[in-house]
Each structure stands twice: as C-alpha cells, then as structure tokens.
Amino acid sequence: MLDLNTKKIKKNAFRITKQRDKTSIRVRIPGGQLPAEIIPTLYEIATKYGDGKLHITSRQGFEITGINFENMKKINELISPVIEKLELPYGVQIDNPKEGYPASGTRNISACIGNRVCPYANYNTTELARRIEAAVFPHDHHFKIATTGCPNDCIKAHMQDFGIIGMANVKYDPYYCVGCEACVKNCKKRVVGALEMVEGKVVRNEAICIECGECVLTCPMQAWSRKEEKLYKLVIMGRTGKKGPRLAQTFIQGADEASIIKIIQNTYGYVDEYIDRTLPKEHVGYIVDRTGYQEFKKWALKDVKLPKEAKVAEYIYW
C-alpha cells in the first residue's frame, strides 16, 4: 500500500513514473561538470536501489531510474555526498543535504563545455552556471537557465527561459593589423560579415557584429583581442512545450554577470506576482505572454545597473 504526497515527492527531485511502485531521482550537475569521484555514488544507487541504469537528462543531470518509493529516504542519504560536492562548495544554501534536494522547480543550470576546453568559448560557462545556481537554487518556480560560451549556442541557450551567451567584447589595434583579411573573409563566410577592409585596415560594423570572437581566433597578429571585462548576451523566454514552442529572443546585448544574476532573481518576484496558481507549474514565458514584455522588463531591470555598452531590447516579438 502506497500513501504518498506526490507534490512533496516532486519537490524532492523524485518523479512520478508510469510504473506505480517506481520512482526515479534527478541528480543536478550544475554547469554540466562533475568530478569523476561522484560516479561510484551514482553507480551504487543505480545498482543497489534502481534498475542499474543511469539516464543522462537533457539538462545535463543524471536520472537514476527504477527506484522503489519506499527507498526514497535511503536514496536521499546516499545522494547527499553529491550535494555536498556539487552544490555546497559553490555557495548553494541547502540546510540539510541528508534530506536530498530541497526543490526541483528551478532546473539544473546547464552549460556547454566552455572555455576550459573549447577554443570558441568566451568564458568559463561551468563556473558561471555554478554561480547562478547559488543565486537561484533551491526554488520551486519553474526556471530553465543555461550558459553557453559563444553564439554557436551548443547548450541551446535559445531554448531556455534565460540563455546566457558569451560575447568576446573585442578590441582592435590597427597598428598590429597586417591587412591579411583573414578576419574579414572568415566573418563573411561563417558569421555575419561585420568586417570590411578600408585602406589596409579593418573596420567593424558594430550594428551587426555579434561579438562571437571569430576575429580574435582568426587574427594571426592578435590585432583583435578580447577586453578583460566579460560581457554576455542575455536571451529570454525560449521554450519547448505543447503551447507555442519558440526560440528565445535577445533581451540584452552586452550585459555583465552581476546584472544577469540580478535580473534572474528579480524575475522570481515577477513570477510570484503574476503566476497562474491554478496550474501545477507555469513557465515564465507564458507569464510574459500574458503580462506583456514591458511589464516583465520593468520587474526584471529593477535596481539593475547595466554597463554602458549594454543594449536592452525596446520591444520583443517572439
């Protein structure tokens, strides 16, 4: 006989499944990176209490399947070292890790491999994802957030409520430019064609440049380089789902990290105000559809001090 509070179970990162007596647990891996030493813990849970399988979730977590509901308490104890290694050291406030994940609404912050490995990435996506995790988790509101290193958007930031895309924040020193045109040709072929040769040196059309950093990668002289300050493009309200799936649109070009974190935090207040409480959960994007972008923007930008380079979208039509 099972007598369960499904709402409580779900908030504890367990799932209601097809099979009446089975659940599964979703393990968060903020930033998509885990020390390999965690694998034996997952292995132990899966082989002793699950069906011996690990599902890699689309948000870069692990779902350990085939767990009996009665073992949830035990699983929470067993999973606590993962929380202690992947959440607490990065500043995530979880009072009692032995009780498992305290929330599941705000999803794992996923990240492309970022500049630890990838030459294209403009920043360390995992580290930013962990800092965002610390700023927003645990929380029950259904938020999907991902960080990606460059506009290639390998993590599909455009499918998130908040997608953070690294910008190169480029600078150009004409003295070092030898006029080889490598950047110009490459930008035309592979990016947006924002570069042009004028009298032996390069002129950048800032209106169309997406700051991907291809010019920096291509330049044999490092006449192109990145400024030290990191800037990001924040795209918002992309989603999959049955009702109106769509790509995220650019909210801010040239935002800094502090502003982005503040904007996401502000959005929790906005959701509190406007969420349809008759539903078990509601994606932020549907709420924005209801209130309009301007109302969202008003809430999101409250007390946010954007860098002077930042450009905020006047209107967004998804």
Partner 1 sequence: MSYEITNIKFNSYLEKWSRDYEIYGPVKISAGGRFSDTDNIRYEKIKKVEDIEYKEKSIFSAKEVLFPVTETLFNIQEEQLNEPVYDKKKYLVFLRACDIHAIDRIDYIFLKNGIYTDPYYKRRREAIKYILIGCKESFENCFCASMGTNKTDNYSMGIKFFDDKVHIEAKDPIFQEEFKEEIEIEFTPDYVLENYYNVTIPSVEKLDFSLFNDEMWKDYAMRCISCGRCNFSCPTCSCFTTSDIYYKENPNNGERRRVWAGCQVDKFTDMAGGHSFRTDYGSRMRFKTMHKVYDFKKRFGEIMCVGCGRCDDRCPEYISFARCINLVSEKVNEDHEEVK
- Find the part of the chain contacting partner 1 (CB under 8 A) among 7-15, 178-186, 281-289, 299-307: 178-186
- Find the part of the chain contacting partner 1 (CB under 8 A) among 75-83, 86-94, 180-188, 254-262: 180-188
Min separation Cβ 168 and partner 1, Å: 7
Start-end of H helices in the chain: 6-11, 39-48, 72-86, 125-136, 182-190, 214-218, 257-274, 284-291, 293-300
- Find the part of the chain contacting partner 1 (CB under 8 A) among 3-11, 176-184, 257-265, 280-288: 176-184
Whose structure tokens read 């430019």?
Answer: 177
Q: Does 47 bind partner 1 (CB under 8 A)?
A: no
Q: Which of 30, 213, 238, 285 is in the footprint of partner 1 by CB under 8 A?
A: 213
Local structure of residue 31 (DSSP, 8 states): G
> CA–CA separation, 98 vs 80, rounded Å?
5
For partner 1, which is the closer residue by CB, 178 or 208? 178
> CA–CA separation, 43 vs 36, rounded Å?
11
Q: Which residues, other chains included, contact 3 with Cβ-Cβ below 8 Å and sequence gap of 6+?
A: none
> CA–CA separation, 193 vs 203, rounded Å?
11
Under 8 Å between Cβ of 232 and 214:
no
Tokens of 308: 């002077």
Q: Does 106 bind partner 1 (CB under 8 A)?
A: no
Q: What angle do CA 313, 149, 27 make, to 5 degrees?
A: 105
Q: Does 209 bind partner 1 (CB under 8 A)?
A: no
Q: Does 180 bind partner 1 (CB under 8 A)?
A: yes
- Find the part of the chain contacting partner 1 (CB under 8 A) among 55-63, 66-74, 136-144, 215-223: 215-223
Q: Does 178 bind partner 1 (CB under 8 A)?
A: yes
Q: Does 119 bind partner 1 (CB under 8 A)?
A: yes
Nearest to 11 by CA among 131, 115, 112, 99: 99
Q: Does 181 bind partner 1 (CB under 8 A)?
A: yes
- Find the part of the chain contacting partner 1 (CB under 8 A) among 55-63, 225-233, 270-278, 301-309: 225-233
Whose structure tokens read 């039509």?
Answer: 317
Beta strand 110-111 with 201-204: parallel, antiparallel or unpaired?
A: unpaired
For partner 1, which is the closer residue by CB, 121 or 255? 121
Size of the site for partner 1 (CB under 8 A): 32
Binding site for partner 1 (CB under 8 A): 115, 119, 121-124, 149, 166, 168, 174-182, 199-200, 213, 216-222, 225-228
